[in-house]
Amino acid sequence: MRRLYSEHVPLGEVQQPGLLRLLAERDVELAVALFPRDVAALRPLHEAVRRAGVRLVLWPLLPDALGRWPSGANGAAFADHVDALVAETEGAATVLFDVEPPIAWTRRALHGRAHGRPADHAGRHATLGPIADRLRAAGHRVEAVVPPMVPFGRRWERLLATPVSSLGCARVEPMAYTSLFEGYSKGTVDRRVARDLLGRLAERQPAALALGVVGGGALGDERAYRGIHELEEDVAIARAHGVERLSLYALDGILLRGAPEPWLDAFCRTPAAERLPARTRRGAALIGLARAIGRLG
Protein backbone atom coordinates (compact mmCIF):
# COMPACT_ATOMS: atom_id res chain seq x y z
CA MET A 1 0.00 0.00 0.00
CA ARG A 2 2.96 2.29 -0.64
CA ARG A 3 3.84 3.95 -3.94
CA LEU A 4 6.96 5.86 -4.85
CA TYR A 5 7.05 8.33 -7.72
CA SER A 6 10.08 8.56 -10.00
CA GLU A 7 10.00 11.51 -12.38
CA HIS A 8 13.55 12.51 -13.33
CA VAL A 9 15.65 9.46 -12.44
CA PRO A 10 17.07 7.98 -15.68
CA LEU A 11 15.29 4.77 -16.58
CA GLY A 12 18.55 2.85 -16.56
CA GLU A 13 19.13 3.88 -12.94
CA VAL A 14 15.57 2.95 -12.00
CA GLN A 15 16.29 -0.58 -13.20
CA GLN A 16 19.31 -1.11 -10.94
CA PRO A 17 18.82 -4.43 -9.09
CA GLY A 18 19.95 -3.01 -5.74
CA LEU A 19 17.37 -0.24 -5.80
CA LEU A 20 14.58 -2.53 -6.95
CA ARG A 21 15.48 -4.99 -4.20
CA LEU A 22 15.00 -2.26 -1.57
CA LEU A 23 11.54 -1.51 -2.97
CA ALA A 24 10.56 -5.17 -3.21
CA GLU A 25 11.62 -5.81 0.39
CA ARG A 26 9.26 -3.03 1.52
CA ASP A 27 6.45 -3.88 -0.91
CA VAL A 28 6.67 -0.46 -2.59
CA GLU A 29 5.28 -0.08 -6.09
CA LEU A 30 6.99 2.30 -8.48
CA ALA A 31 5.21 4.94 -10.57
CA VAL A 32 7.65 5.89 -13.33
CA ALA A 33 7.19 9.03 -15.42
CA LEU A 34 7.12 8.10 -19.09
CA PHE A 35 7.43 10.76 -21.79
CA PRO A 36 6.95 10.11 -25.52
CA ARG A 37 10.72 9.66 -25.82
CA ASP A 38 10.50 6.75 -23.34
CA VAL A 39 8.03 4.55 -25.20
CA ALA A 40 10.70 2.29 -26.68
CA ALA A 41 12.25 1.78 -23.24
CA LEU A 42 9.05 0.61 -21.57
CA ARG A 43 9.39 -3.12 -22.27
CA PRO A 44 12.88 -3.53 -20.76
CA LEU A 45 11.81 -1.38 -17.80
CA HIS A 46 8.73 -3.50 -17.24
CA GLU A 47 10.75 -6.71 -17.47
CA ALA A 48 13.34 -5.45 -14.97
CA VAL A 49 10.80 -4.48 -12.33
CA ARG A 50 8.82 -7.68 -12.91
CA ARG A 51 11.92 -9.81 -12.28
CA ALA A 52 12.57 -7.86 -9.09
CA GLY A 53 9.01 -8.41 -7.84
CA VAL A 54 8.09 -4.72 -7.94
CA ARG A 55 4.77 -3.48 -9.31
CA LEU A 56 5.08 -0.86 -12.06
CA VAL A 57 2.63 2.00 -12.50
CA LEU A 58 2.67 3.79 -15.85
CA TRP A 59 2.79 7.56 -15.34
CA PRO A 60 2.38 9.18 -18.77
CA LEU A 61 3.64 12.76 -19.13
CA LEU A 62 3.96 15.11 -22.09
CA PRO A 63 6.66 17.65 -22.99
CA ASP A 64 6.28 20.97 -21.19
CA ALA A 65 5.33 22.65 -24.47
CA LEU A 66 2.17 20.50 -24.46
CA GLY A 67 1.37 21.18 -20.80
CA ARG A 68 3.24 18.21 -19.28
CA TRP A 69 0.26 16.97 -17.25
CA PRO A 70 -3.06 15.75 -18.71
CA SER A 71 -5.78 18.37 -18.43
CA GLY A 72 -8.78 19.76 -20.25
CA ALA A 73 -6.34 21.46 -22.62
CA ASN A 74 -4.35 18.58 -24.12
CA GLY A 75 -6.57 15.50 -24.21
CA ALA A 76 -5.77 14.55 -27.81
CA ALA A 77 -2.00 14.62 -27.35
CA PHE A 78 -2.27 12.73 -24.08
CA ALA A 79 -4.48 10.07 -25.68
CA ASP A 80 -1.95 9.47 -28.44
CA HIS A 81 0.84 9.08 -25.88
CA VAL A 82 -1.15 6.69 -23.69
CA ASP A 83 -2.07 4.58 -26.70
CA ALA A 84 1.61 4.29 -27.64
CA LEU A 85 2.57 3.23 -24.12
CA VAL A 86 -0.21 0.67 -23.79
CA ALA A 87 0.80 -0.84 -27.14
CA GLU A 88 4.16 -1.69 -25.53
CA THR A 89 2.55 -3.20 -22.43
CA GLU A 90 1.93 -6.89 -21.98
CA GLY A 91 -1.15 -7.70 -19.94
CA ALA A 92 -3.11 -5.35 -17.69
CA ALA A 93 -1.42 -2.21 -16.38
CA THR A 94 -2.16 0.56 -13.91
CA VAL A 95 -2.13 3.93 -15.68
CA LEU A 96 -1.81 7.04 -13.52
CA PHE A 97 -3.43 10.26 -14.76
CA ASP A 98 -1.51 13.15 -13.15
CA VAL A 99 -4.33 15.63 -13.70
CA GLU A 100 -3.02 19.17 -13.24
CA PRO A 101 -3.26 22.52 -15.04
CA PRO A 102 -0.71 23.09 -17.83
CA ILE A 103 2.74 23.61 -16.34
CA ALA A 104 3.33 27.09 -17.78
CA TRP A 105 0.11 28.37 -16.18
CA THR A 106 0.94 26.59 -12.92
CA ARG A 107 4.35 28.26 -12.69
CA ARG A 108 2.75 31.69 -13.14
CA ALA A 109 -0.10 30.97 -10.74
CA LEU A 110 2.17 29.83 -7.91
CA HIS A 111 3.95 33.17 -8.06
CA GLY A 112 0.83 35.30 -8.43
CA ARG A 113 1.28 36.06 -12.12
CA ALA A 114 -1.49 34.00 -13.71
CA HIS A 115 -4.41 35.70 -15.40
CA GLY A 116 -7.67 33.89 -16.00
CA ARG A 117 -8.17 30.15 -16.06
CA PRO A 118 -5.41 27.77 -17.16
CA ALA A 119 -7.20 26.90 -20.38
CA ASP A 120 -10.25 27.82 -22.34
CA HIS A 121 -11.55 24.27 -22.18
CA ALA A 122 -15.18 24.85 -23.12
CA GLY A 123 -16.31 21.80 -25.02
CA ARG A 124 -13.14 19.93 -24.09
CA HIS A 125 -13.76 19.33 -20.43
CA ALA A 126 -14.50 15.62 -20.86
CA THR A 127 -11.75 14.82 -23.35
CA LEU A 128 -9.88 12.69 -20.82
CA GLY A 129 -12.92 10.53 -20.08
CA PRO A 130 -12.88 8.52 -23.33
CA ILE A 131 -9.20 7.70 -22.82
CA ALA A 132 -9.97 6.26 -19.39
CA ASP A 133 -12.98 4.35 -20.74
CA ARG A 134 -10.85 2.81 -23.48
CA LEU A 135 -8.18 1.74 -21.00
CA ARG A 136 -10.70 0.06 -18.71
CA ALA A 137 -12.35 -1.71 -21.63
CA ALA A 138 -8.93 -3.19 -22.44
CA GLY A 139 -8.51 -4.44 -18.86
CA HIS A 140 -6.28 -1.69 -17.49
CA ARG A 141 -6.72 0.14 -14.19
CA VAL A 142 -7.06 3.93 -14.20
CA GLU A 143 -5.98 6.02 -11.21
CA ALA A 144 -5.35 9.73 -10.69
CA VAL A 145 -3.37 12.19 -8.63
CA VAL A 146 -4.76 15.72 -8.36
CA PRO A 147 -4.07 19.12 -6.76
CA PRO A 148 -5.27 19.28 -3.15
CA MET A 149 -8.16 21.65 -3.92
CA VAL A 150 -9.86 19.39 -6.48
CA PRO A 151 -11.69 17.09 -4.00
CA PHE A 152 -13.50 20.14 -2.59
CA GLY A 153 -15.92 20.50 -5.47
CA ARG A 154 -16.49 20.34 -9.21
CA ARG A 155 -15.88 24.05 -9.64
CA TRP A 156 -12.19 23.44 -8.91
CA GLU A 157 -12.15 21.05 -11.85
CA ARG A 158 -13.51 23.78 -14.11
CA LEU A 159 -11.20 26.46 -12.74
CA LEU A 160 -8.07 24.32 -13.07
CA ALA A 161 -9.04 22.35 -16.20
CA THR A 162 -8.66 19.14 -14.21
CA PRO A 163 -11.66 16.96 -15.21
CA VAL A 164 -10.92 14.08 -12.89
CA SER A 165 -14.58 13.27 -12.22
CA SER A 166 -14.94 12.29 -15.89
CA LEU A 167 -12.36 9.52 -15.47
CA GLY A 168 -14.18 7.11 -13.16
CA CYS A 169 -10.89 6.35 -11.41
CA ALA A 170 -10.37 3.39 -9.13
CA ARG A 171 -8.18 5.61 -6.93
CA VAL A 172 -7.81 9.39 -6.66
CA GLU A 173 -5.14 10.82 -4.39
CA PRO A 174 -4.75 14.52 -3.61
CA MET A 175 -1.24 15.96 -3.42
CA ALA A 176 -1.02 16.62 0.31
CA TYR A 177 2.50 18.01 0.00
CA THR A 178 3.16 19.80 3.28
CA SER A 179 6.51 21.15 2.12
CA LEU A 180 4.79 22.85 -0.83
CA PHE A 181 2.01 24.23 1.38
CA GLU A 182 4.79 26.08 3.17
CA GLY A 183 6.96 26.87 0.21
CA TYR A 184 4.34 28.45 -2.05
CA SER A 185 2.27 30.19 0.65
CA LYS A 186 4.50 33.28 0.97
CA GLY A 187 4.54 32.87 4.74
CA THR A 188 0.83 32.17 5.21
CA VAL A 189 1.46 28.51 6.07
CA ASP A 190 4.14 27.33 8.47
CA ARG A 191 4.91 23.74 9.42
CA ARG A 192 2.28 23.74 12.17
CA VAL A 193 -0.46 24.84 9.73
CA ALA A 194 0.82 22.48 7.04
CA ARG A 195 0.44 19.50 9.37
CA ASP A 196 -3.08 20.65 10.21
CA LEU A 197 -3.94 20.90 6.50
CA LEU A 198 -2.62 17.39 5.96
CA GLY A 199 -4.83 16.07 8.75
CA ARG A 200 -7.90 17.81 7.36
CA LEU A 201 -7.21 16.46 3.86
CA ALA A 202 -6.77 12.97 5.31
CA GLU A 203 -10.15 13.27 7.00
CA ARG A 204 -11.78 14.26 3.73
CA GLN A 205 -9.93 11.79 1.49
CA PRO A 206 -9.09 8.73 3.61
CA ALA A 207 -8.76 6.37 0.64
CA ALA A 208 -5.35 7.64 -0.56
CA LEU A 209 -2.95 10.56 -0.27
CA ALA A 210 0.29 11.62 -1.90
CA LEU A 211 2.94 12.96 0.50
CA GLY A 212 6.02 15.06 -0.14
CA VAL A 213 8.17 16.41 -1.32
CA VAL A 214 11.55 14.83 -0.71
CA GLY A 215 12.93 16.78 -3.67
CA GLY A 216 13.33 16.90 -7.41
CA GLY A 217 10.13 18.50 -8.71
CA ALA A 218 9.16 19.49 -12.23
CA LEU A 219 8.66 23.17 -11.39
CA GLY A 220 12.24 23.62 -10.27
CA ASP A 221 11.60 25.65 -7.12
CA GLU A 222 9.73 23.18 -4.91
CA ARG A 223 10.49 23.35 -1.21
CA ALA A 224 11.59 19.95 0.08
CA TYR A 225 11.28 18.32 3.46
CA ARG A 226 13.80 19.69 5.94
CA GLY A 227 14.62 16.15 6.97
CA ILE A 228 13.33 12.63 7.44
CA HIS A 229 11.50 13.68 10.59
CA GLU A 230 8.98 15.67 8.54
CA LEU A 231 8.20 12.66 6.39
CA GLU A 232 7.75 10.57 9.54
CA GLU A 233 5.34 13.18 10.91
CA ASP A 234 3.31 13.20 7.70
CA VAL A 235 3.05 9.41 7.51
CA ALA A 236 2.06 9.24 11.17
CA ILE A 237 -0.67 11.88 10.70
CA ALA A 238 -2.07 10.20 7.59
CA ARG A 239 -2.13 6.77 9.22
CA ALA A 240 -3.77 8.14 12.36
CA HIS A 241 -6.66 9.21 10.11
CA GLY A 242 -6.86 5.74 8.60
CA VAL A 243 -5.06 6.49 5.33
CA GLU A 244 -2.94 3.48 4.39
CA ARG A 245 -2.65 3.95 0.62
CA LEU A 246 0.18 6.45 0.56
CA SER A 247 2.38 7.70 -2.25
CA LEU A 248 5.62 9.65 -1.90
CA TYR A 249 7.16 12.21 -4.22
CA ALA A 250 9.82 11.31 -5.12
CA LEU A 251 12.61 8.80 -5.69
CA ASP A 252 14.50 11.67 -7.30
CA GLY A 253 14.96 13.44 -3.98
CA ILE A 254 15.65 10.28 -2.01
CA LEU A 255 18.60 9.37 -4.22
CA LEU A 256 20.02 12.89 -3.85
CA ARG A 257 19.88 12.86 -0.05
CA GLY A 258 22.16 9.98 0.81
CA ALA A 259 21.33 6.36 1.57
CA PRO A 260 17.76 5.57 0.48
CA GLU A 261 17.00 3.04 3.23
CA PRO A 262 16.19 5.57 6.02
CA TRP A 263 13.77 7.46 3.79
CA LEU A 264 12.10 4.26 2.59
CA ASP A 265 11.79 2.97 6.15
CA ALA A 266 10.28 6.26 7.32
CA PHE A 267 7.76 6.01 4.49
CA CYS A 268 6.88 2.36 4.97
CA ARG A 269 7.36 1.64 8.66
CA THR A 270 6.35 4.75 10.59
CA PRO A 271 3.37 3.90 12.84
CA ALA A 272 0.24 5.98 13.21
CA ALA A 273 0.54 9.00 15.47
CA GLU A 274 -0.79 8.50 18.98
CA ARG A 275 -1.64 12.19 19.19
CA LEU A 276 -2.75 14.31 16.27
CA PRO A 277 -1.30 17.79 15.71
CA ALA A 278 -3.22 20.73 17.07
CA ARG A 279 -5.86 22.29 14.87
CA THR A 280 -5.20 25.84 13.72
CA ARG A 281 -7.48 28.72 12.82
CA ARG A 282 -5.54 29.32 9.65
CA GLY A 283 -5.88 25.71 8.58
CA ALA A 284 -9.63 25.84 9.21
CA ALA A 285 -9.91 29.07 7.22
CA LEU A 286 -7.98 27.70 4.23
CA ILE A 287 -10.02 24.51 4.10
CA GLY A 288 -13.21 26.54 4.48
CA LEU A 289 -12.18 28.74 1.55
CA ALA A 290 -11.41 25.72 -0.63
CA ARG A 291 -14.77 24.21 0.23
CA ALA A 292 -16.65 27.46 -0.46
CA ILE A 293 -15.02 27.94 -3.87
CA GLY A 294 -15.68 24.32 -4.78
CA ARG A 295 -19.40 24.75 -4.10
CA LEU A 296 -19.78 27.86 -6.27
CA GLY A 297 -21.13 27.65 -9.79
Res. 121: pLDDT tops 80: no
At 136 the pLDDT is 97
Mean pLDDT of 44-55: 97
User: At 133, which CATH number?
Assistant: 3.20.20.80
**Residue whose C-alpha is closest to residue 121's, from 163, 81, 150, 156:** 163
Domain encompassing residue 181: 2-295
Res. 116: pLDDT tops 90? no
pLDDT at residue 132 in the model? 96
| pLDDT at 264 > cutoff 50 | yes
In the prediction, which pLDDT does 297 show? 58
pLDDT for the residue numbered 124: 46
Distance CA 197, CA 124 (A): 32
* Domain tally, the chain: 1
Percent share of the chain, pLDDT over 70: 96
Q: What pLDDT is stored for residue 266 in this prediction?
A: 98
pLDDT at 7 over 60: yes
Contact predicate 210/143, CB 8 Å:
no
> 10 Å Cβ neighbour count for 226?
11
Global pTM reads 0.95
**Residue in 176, 145, 151 with CA at minimum distance from that of residue 239:** 176
